[in-house]
Structure 1
Amino acid sequence: MNRALRIIFSRYGIIAIILLLVLGVIALAQTREQTPLDGAESGTEGSEGSEGEATSEAFTEDDGFATEGCEGDDCYAGEELPQEAVDRAMDFTEAWLNPDGYGPDGWYDSIVPYLTTENADLMQGVDPVSVPATEVAGEPAADGQKVAVPLDTGTLTLTMTEGSNNWTGSDWLVSAIDWEQS
């Protein structure tokens, strides 16, 4: 028994134990390469690739959310935004322009009720000094899910979506902000 323990705890025994552990981890990592996306385990159709290799057919199956032939921003072009969504976009624009001269925290607090949670996270820490305009210069124009607001130095385009966030109940929210300098 002492002789076996001496061999195990010698430098060669410890090296052998470490080598076995490394080989075990590598073996486990290789078996983890097979994911449900390759279809081999989940049984999805169109996954005739080799084991552990996902085919493009498995990724293009209809998930029930995309509309047929819909690509890019034209997916909702046929739908018109209700006036309340356009009004909400204008309310956001007024707060975004920072007419009260708030600092970063006050400005963020004024715009966050109009934003989706994801967009609010992106706006955290933005300095309102970076807002490139000072006043609205025309009437907003709705096109699909987007509202274009002409400002004194360019056009603010807001993508609107129905939803709720941590600050507002269910309402129209800004899910994307795009600025085009004129």
Structure 2
Amino acid sequence: MNRALRIIFSRYGIVVIILVLVLGVIALANRRQETPLDGTNGVDGTDGAASSEAFTEDDGFATEDCTGDDCYAEEELPQEAVDRAVEFTAAWLNPGGSGQAAWFDSIEPYMTAETAEAMTGVDPETVPAEEISGEPAADGSKVSIPLDTGTLTLTMLEGANNWTENGWLVSAIDWEQS
């Protein structure tokens, strides 16, 4: 027993243990990649075609790299959503130099509850721009608004919050420095 433990905990024993662990992980990873959609036989002995039909049905959503007749153009945002995004941006820029609480109160009605929660505690001094410098552009559910130091991209969502029964709300905020 003592001799076996000496062999296992020697340099060579540890190398063998590590090698076995690495090969085990690789084997599990390869096994996990096998799916009925990769052309291998399914568990039930079929060629996988029956189970892949559900995955190839058109779900109505287009992918970014989609080309051809099977793609759907994203619906354009109505002008109301673009206007709401511009109103949010005007409040977000904090033109009056309000403190944190007043600034948050001014932007909260424009956001979904989740976005408002994420913005809680944000200091308005960290807003990286001072004014809108161009016309907003809608692309799918996003509105890009050029500002003096970059572009603010807002993802708009139709919904409700404590201030709006049913309207367009900001569900995500993205900033790109120019």
- Band the TM-score falls in, shorter-chain normalisation: 0.5 to 0.7
Name the Cα RMSD after superposition.
2.8
1:4-38 Cα shifts (integer Å, max 9, x gaps): xxxxxxxxxxxxxxxxxxxxxxxxxxxxxxxxxxx
Query: Which residue type is aligned with residue 121 of structure 2?
Result: G
Q: Which residue of 1 aligns with 2:147?
A: 151
SS of aligned partner of 1:125: coil
State the 1:68 CA deviation: 4.5
User: Does 2:134 align with 1:141?
Assistant: no
Unaligned runs of 5+ in 2: 1-42, 44-53, 66-70
Alpha carbons 2:152, 2:174 under 8 Å: kept: yes
- After TM superposition, the score normalised by the length of structure 2 is 0.62
1:114-165 Cα shifts (integer Å, max 9, x gaps): 0000000000000000000000000001111110000000000000010001
Q: 1:68 to 1:175 in 2, by over 3 A?
A: closer
SS of aligned partner of 2:173: strand
Q: Which residue of 2 aligns with 1:172?
A: 168
1:33-89 Cα shifts (integer Å, max 9, x gaps): xxxxxxxxxxxxxxx7xxxxxxxxxxxx77xxx6355469xx985210110100000
Q: 1:123 to 1:76 in 2, by over 3 A?
A: farther
Q: Which residue of 1 aligns with 2:103?
A: 107
Aligned length: 124
SS of aligned partner of 2:169: strand
Query: Which residue type is aligned with residue 133 of structure 1?
Result: A
Q: What is the alpha-carbon distance in structure 2 between the residues aligned to residue 156 and residue 68 of structure 1?
A: 25
Alpha carbons 2:110, 2:169 under 8 Å: kept: yes
1:71-109 Cα shifts (integer Å, max 9, x gaps): 69xx98521011010000000000000011111100000
Q: Which runs of 4+ in 1 moved over 6 A?
A: none
Q: What is the alpha-carbon distance in structure 2 between the residues aligned to residue 78 and residue 109 of structure 1?
A: 32
Within 5 A, what are the aligned runs for 1:82-121? 82-121=78-117
Alpha carbons 2:61, 2:72 under 8 Å: kept: no
**Percent of counterpart pairs with the same letter?**
67
- After TM superposition, the score normalised by the length of structure 1 is 0.61
Q: 1:113 to 1:147 in 2, by over 3 A?
A: same
Q: 1:71 to 1:129 in 2, by over 3 A?
A: same
State the 1:169 CA deviation: 1.6
Q: What is the alpha-carbon distance in structure 1 between the residues aligned to residue 95 and residue 82 of structure 2?
A: 20
Q: Which residue of 1 aligns with 2:157?
A: 161
